[in-house]
Structure 1
Amino acid sequence: MGYFVTVEPGVKLYVEDINPAGSKTIVFLHGWPLSHDQFEYQFDVLPGMGYRCIGIDWRGFGKSDRPYDGYNLERLADDIRAVVTALQLKDFVLGGHSTGGAIAIKYVVRYNGGGVSKLVLIDAAAPRGFTEENAAQLLKQTLNDRANMMLGVTNIFFFRYITKPFSDWFNQMGMEAAGWSTAAVIIMLRDFDLTSDLTRIQLPTLIVHGIHDQVIPFRQAEEMHRIIPHSRLVPFIYSGHGSFYDERDKFNQLMQEFIGAATG
């Protein structure tokens, strides 16, 4: 089921809550400039394994409200905290893809765990996001031809072949975001550095990263693994930036193994 949660006056986030009766909860944070829908092929499978799966659209993206401001890691982490509090979530697994991984890191550090029992970083944009050069190019494209920018992102996102209908669906997902939020997060990705935050993570952490990632290079996953105390790095050798789809069967099985068995 889907519903909206107020995170500050005038701003509501869309939440997709699948199998609320599941014995263990996984909260998914999508990547830029997508929505919770990117995890369709997890939501199709993991609830059947007994998990409660929650997808949250950040402000400005997907079905959530689209205010003009608030696009920094601290505010985005605070938004997640508001949802966690409203849903009274405890002892849950937090999984973040790409920029969602950066938000997940900021959340667990800012809130001293914040009820998270295990952390999953999926092709995460950490310790850093975009280079100044890449950010400048993406920002120019976003402000002049956002549809073409999104097509370019799709073209380098996956390692395995995707069909044209899948590509069209993926592009449309990115276009659901506001143009201003898409641009603001590019600037955020250009400017942050989470190196010091990584040293403060004390949770069991699974790092999943495609070795062919053209968005966030695999070397950054290796750097995270060196810095995060209790981390495990699993390279996905047939994946690009979309390991959750490129090797979805392996990904879903790995999630089950890392989180622990749940009764269906």
Structure 2
Amino acid sequence: MGYYVTVEPGVNLFVEDINPRGSKTIVFLHGWPLTHEQFEYQFDVLPSMDYRCIGIDWRGFGNSDKPMDGYTYDRLADDIYSVVNALQLDNFTLVGHSTGGAIAIRYMSRYNEYGVSKLVLIDAAAPIGFTAETAAELLEGALNDRPKMMQEVTDTFFFQYISVPFSKWFLQMGLQAAGWSTAAVIKLLRDETLYEDLGKINTNALIAHGIHDKVIPFAQAEELNRKISNSHLVPFSYSGHGLFWEERDTFNQLLMQFIG
């Protein structure tokens, strides 16, 4: 079931709500510049195991509205809070991949972990995102040849082989974003950090990270593990930045065990 939630006047976020009567709720935050559809291989499995799966497209991405502004961690976390309130969610597991992991971290610190029982960070772009050099290259591509830039992102995203049809599907997912929001989040990942947020997280946290990740180095997962007090790091030995697909069976089992 898909619907829209208004997070501020004129800005509506698309929410995919699968198995609304499930006994345990998981909220999924996608990575840049993707959509909630990146979690297809979780949505295929978890609802049949009695989990309610909620995928949110951030502002500027997927099927959500695409305003010109609001691309800061604070505003993006505020958007998630608005959805949580609108759906009256409580005692849910918050799952964030890459930049979605960074947004989840800001949500946890900004809203005192409101409603969250457990936190899962997948290849999280934290406590830092892109270096100035990487951001400059991505901005150049985003503003001049966005499809080529997105194809290059896809080519470095996975450690395991992906088929040509899968690559095309992944590419099109990224191109659903607006050009301006794609560029704005590159700047966000360049300019904002999350060091001060980490010490405010007390909820039990699972950190899952591909050891072959070329987008966010595995060393950052180790840093998160050191700085988030109640966290557990699980390396994924056969994954790059896309362990949610590359080792989907292993990840899905791990997620269910973690949630309980």
The residue aligned with 1:255 is: 255
Identity of aligned residues (%): 71
Q: For residue 39 of structure 1, what is the amino acid of its counterpart?
A: F
Cα distance, 1:114 vs structure 2: 1.2
The residue aligned with 1:226 is: 226
Deviations 1:146-171 (A, max 9, x none): 00000000001011111000000000
Q: For residue 186 of structure 1, what is the amino acid of its counterpart?
A: I
Q: For residue 123 of structure 2, what is the amino acid of its counterpart?
A: D
The residue aligned with 1:140 is: 140
Cα distance, 1:199 vs structure 2: 1.0
- TM-score after normalising by structure 2: 1.00
The residue aligned with 2:163 is: 163
- TM-score after normalising by structure 1: 0.98
Deviations 1:10-66 (A, max 9, x none): 000000000001000000000000000000000000111110000000000000000
The residue aligned with 1:28 is: 28
SS in 1 for 2:71: coil
Cα distance, 1:116 vs structure 2: 0.3
The residue aligned with 2:87 is: 87
Cα distance, 1:196 vs structure 2: 1.4
Name the CA distance, whole Å, in 1 between partners of 2:119 and 2:256: 13
The residue aligned with 1:129 is: 129
Deviations 1:61-82 (A, max 9, x none): 0000000000000000000000
Q: For residue 194 of structure 1, what is the amino acid of its counterpart?
A: L
Cα distance, 1:215 vs structure 2: 0.2
The residue aligned with 1:106 is: 106
SS in 2 for 1:229: coil
Name the CA distance, whole Å, in 2 between partners of 1:160 and 1:122: 17
Q: How does 1:191-202 map to 2 (within 5 A)?
A: 191-202=191-202
Cα distance, 1:195 vs structure 2: 1.1
Q: For residue 127 of structure 2, what is the amino acid of its counterpart?
A: P
Deviations 1:211-258 (A, max 9, x none): 000000000000000000000000000000001001000000000000
SS in 2 for 1:196: helix
- Size of the aligned set, in residue pairs, is 260
Cα distance, 1:193 vs structure 2: 1.3
Deviations 1:156-208 (A, max 9, x none): 10111110000000000000000000000000000111111111100000000
Q: For residue 51 of structure 2, what is the amino acid of its counterpart?
A: Y
Deviations 1:110-153 (A, max 9, x none): 00011000000000000000000000000001000000000000
Name the CA distance, whole Å, in 1 between partners of 2:199 and 2:85: 26
Q: How does 1:170-249 map to 2 (within 5 A)?
A: 170-249=170-249
Name the CA distance, whole Å, in 1 between partners of 2:8 and 2:195: 29
Name the CA distance, whole Å, in 2 between partners of 1:69 and 1:219: 32
Q: For residue 209 of structure 1, what is the amino acid of its counterpart?
A: H
The residue aligned with 2:75 is: 75
Name the CA distance, whole Å, in 2 between partners of 1:240 and 1:121: 15
SS in 2 for 1:26: strand
Consecutive unaligned residues in structure 1, runs of 5 or more: none
Name the CA distance, whole Å, in 2 between partners of 1:241 and 1:259: 22
Moved over 3 A (4+): none
Consecutive unaligned residues in structure 2, runs of 5 or more: none
SS in 1 for 2:106: helix
